[in-house]
Every structure is written in structure tokens, then in C-alpha cells.
Amino acid sequence: MSKNIVFLINKSEITAGTRGASLGPDAVFTAARKRGSFIFGENQVEKLQSVNHLLDHPTQFQFAKRIDGLSEIYTQLNDKVSNLLLNNNFPFVLAADHGSAGGTIAGIKSAFPSKRIGVVWIDAHADIHTPYTTPSGNMHGMPLATALNVDNLECKVNEVSQETLLFWNKLKQTGGTAPKINPEDVVYIAVRDTEEQEDAIMKRLNIRNYQVTEVRTKGVGTVIAEIEEKLKACDCIYVSFDVDSMDPEMTSHGTGTPVANGLSPQEAKEILLRLANNEKTVCIEVVEVNPCLDEKINVMAEVTFDIIEAVTHELKN
């Protein structure tokens, strides 16, 4: 069935530790124009209001940097994504950094409060830190924790202020439901750079991680078949694709936190194409293209666009 795709652009980069991801969506649009592709003209494009002005001022939240602004983004995403889904659209989110993904999940849950949401998280990082465990305070390492409604107090290393906790709990409660997802309904692909606090909660929650070597050994088709079997009780699926899941030697270092030994672009494309072909998939998000860090002059955006274009065609057919 052909999907009515709406590209939802989120340029806020307040949760990353490096600057430039706000230029990522435009870099992808530039790659499309260079290629002579018209997918962004043929499909509806909507934009969230940016809160990047917060980067021009210091943040008072040491262990959850600019969480006040992220709360605004979660609210925007919750409203926009839920509205798109309720009007039978397919939100294809192009975001600057990964910190806002919890807001996207909130929007899916708001649209389908009684449905069980499966999450396929394709990333070099687990993104399941909390203000209590974060080594950096950068909130692009925390979105899954907000959706799962976990604090990981068992691994607490930080003393977190009450004001931070008020915003943290607000994030987790976005849309009025917490948790949004169950640990058994989360699957990682290509996660390979974690801290011990994340390893502990991943083990405790028994979250499955398909490492790159396993993807290569089994093949993408087998891995996706296993994931679909694991998520068969879910009513809908959200796919979150961080470009740092790919190997920087095969792409570029045009992302905030590149990690060696990742997926090839072809493997990433095949994974997303197969997931896009699943009728349960209701939303796809692509994040963390940063042209300011690209030593190959926009190659990461071009590789990412190639994947987006292929997935768009799959969704339309």
C-alpha cells in the first residue's frame, strides 16, 4: 500500500555535544538537488520550530544540558507526529540530533494509545543514559530512557538537581503516558560504543543487540526476519536510524560521534528497505548528519540521501 509521506524536519541540535547537526537536513536536501531528485518536492514537507537560540547561552542543567528546550521539542513532536498519524500520513522525520527521538515515540503513542510499539534502534550508541548516569550531560544519549520511563538508579553516579528532575519527568510523561514502550519490544542494530551504566541496564532489561558481525554472519534478511518475529506482538513499529551506525571509513566522519567498524551503507540501506516494507512500520527517523564535521565535503549527507530516496520509493510502492 502506498504511504502518504510527510517529511518532518527538526533542526534543533541542542542535545548533541558538537555543533553543526542543525545543518544536516539541509545538507540532505542539497544532496537531493545535486542528484536531481525531486522527492522533497513531490512529498509534503513540514518543519518544527527550532530552539537552537538556547545554544547562544549557557545551560544550568549540568547532567541534562538544555533539557528545558528539549521539553519544548518533545511537545512539538508529540503534537505533530500524532496529528500526522491520525490523518493517515507516514511521518518521515529528518532530525539534527538523536535527542528528540523520545518525542517522536511519544507522538506515536499519543496517536495509538492502546497499541504496542516496537522500536528498531539502528545506532552506534545505546542512547539509554539518564541524568543519573550520563558522563557528558548531552541528551542525545538519553532518548530511549525517556520512552522506557527508566532512571537506572542502580547505576547512579550523578547528584541531579530537583529542577532537572522536574523536566526529566516531564519528558517521560510527554503525551500523558509512561512508559511508551516495553524493553522486550526494543531491538538494537550495530550498537558498539557504550558505557558500563548502559551495559548494565541493557543486560537488566534484556535488550537484544544485533552487532555488526552478527548482521554480516547471518545476513540482513535473516536478521530482519528474526526482529520481525521478536516484535510480532507489536501493533506498530518505529525505526530510528542514526547515521553513525555506519562505518565512517565507508561514509565519512560527518556525524557527531563516529565509531569504527559499523555497517556498510549497503547494509544500512537493505535494513531500512526491509523494515519499510513491513506494514507495521508507521514512522522512520533519520538523524545526526553533520556537514561541519565532514572531511569529504557532504558525503555523509549524500550517502544518507541515497538511503532516504530508496526507502521513500519503497514506501510509495
φ and ψ at residue 212, rounded to 5 degrees = -60, -40
| Residues 60-102: tens digit of each pLDDT | 999 999 999 999 999 999 999 999 999 999 999 999 999 999 9
- 288 is an active site residue: yes
> Is 148 a residue whose pLDDT tops 90?
yes
Q: Do 123 and 191 touch, CB atoms closer than 8 A?
A: yes
- 140 is an active site residue: yes
Q: Which of 13, 72, 97, 125 is catalytic?
A: 125
Q: Is 198 exposed, middle or buried (0-12, 13-18, 19+ CB in 10 A)?
A: buried
CATH number of 5-316: 3.40.800.10
Q: Do 8 and 81 touch, CB atoms closer than 8 A?
A: yes
List C-alpha distances in Å: 257 to 17, 132, 242.
9, 21, 10
DSSP letter for 253, please.
S
Strand-pairing partners, residue 287, are 95, 242
115-140 mean pLDDT: 98
Selection from 152, 185, 154, 149 nearest residue 169 by Cα: 149
Domain ranges for the chain, please list them: 5-316
Q: Reading across the β-sheet that carries 117-122, which strands appear in turn?
A: 44-47, 5-10, 90-95, 281-287, 236-242, 117-122, 186-189, 208-210
| Residues 170-194: tens digit of each pLDDT | 999 999 999 999 999 999 999 999 9
Q: Which of 151, 185, 228, 242 is catalytic?
A: 242
> Is 1 a residue whose pLDDT tops 90?
no
Q: Do 55 and 14 touch, CB atoms closer than 8 A?
A: yes
Q: Which of 68, 97, 123, 294 is catalytic?
A: 123
Q: Which of 68, 72, 98, 228 is catalytic?
A: 98
Whole-model pTM: value is 0.98
Instruction: Grade residue 237 by pLDDT with cuts at 50, 70 and 90.
Output: very high
20-48 mean pLDDT: 98
In the predicted model, what is the mean pLDDT of the chain? 98
- 127 is an active site residue: yes
Q: Is 173 exposed, middle or buried (0-12, 13-18, 19+ CB in 10 A)?
A: middle
User: Alpha-carbon Rg of the chain, whole angstroms?
Assistant: 18
Instruction: Grade residue 16 by pLDDT with cuts at 50, 70 and 90.
Output: very high
- 123 is an active site residue: yes
Helix (H) or strand (E) holding 222: helix 220-230
Q: Which of 68, 72, 244, 247 is catalytic?
A: 244
- Largest distance between two CA atoms of the chain: 52
Q: Which of 13, 72, 97, 127 is catalytic?
A: 127
Q: Which of 68, 140, 195, 267 is catalytic?
A: 140
